[in-house]
Amino acid sequence: MVETGEGGRWLSYAELAEVRSMTVPSAIRYVRKKKWPKQPANDGTIRVLVPPGALDARKPRPVAAPEGVRAASLPEALSDRSGTIKALEAALAAVKEHLEREKAGADHARRTLELGSQIAAEERAHAAAERARLEKQIEVLQAQLTASRSQSRNVKSPTWRGRLARWLRRGRAAGKGPT
């Protein structure tokens, strides 16, 4: 901060914002609004000539009583908020309880899913073993069928033509067949 002979001080925007308890963009807008003189400083910042009365820090605004509430009844109005706070605490407790129930339900669902996955894996293993057993049994039966077919080809079984021919020969021999 630099004093001048005019009674003001040359401040950067950051210094002005700190003295007046505001942000730097607010300080820039405030300087534009007041049309205070500015000049560049050697360190690359902009310095503003701030009059002495403007250096007083902002005072907080008094809190106005809500409409319909007299100043004397303000403590009563604030005490009414304790009921609101209790209601909000009760609502928060209810939400926490609901959250705990939902967590318990999610844990139960997760355990059920894990159990179902385990049962499904066991069933898949059982089905695979049963399939292997049945495929082996099919191979054995196919081998037996092939062997049976080859044996039946080697056996001379009478065909319908052979039977018919024998029947006709018997009939002719006995004189009963067609002539």
pLDDT, tens digit, 9 for 90 and up, residues 58-115 = 555 555 555 655 555 556 656 667 778 888 889 999 999 999 999 999 999 999 999 9
pLDDT at position 75: 60
Q: Which is nearest to 108 in space by CA: 118, 100, 120, 96?
A: 100
In a domain, 49, yes or no: yes
Is pTM beyond 0.75? Reply is no
In a domain, 20, yes or no: yes
Domain range holding 112?
90-147
Q: How many domains does the chain have?
A: 2
Contacts of 177 (CB under 8 A, 6+ apart): 167, 168, 170, 171
In a domain, 121, yes or no: yes
The C-alpha atoms of residue 123 and residue 117 are separated, in whole angstroms, by: 10
pLDDT, tens digit, 9 for 90 and up, residues 28-45 = 999 999 999 999 999 989
The C-alpha atoms of residue 37 and residue 155 are separated, in whole angstroms, by: 128
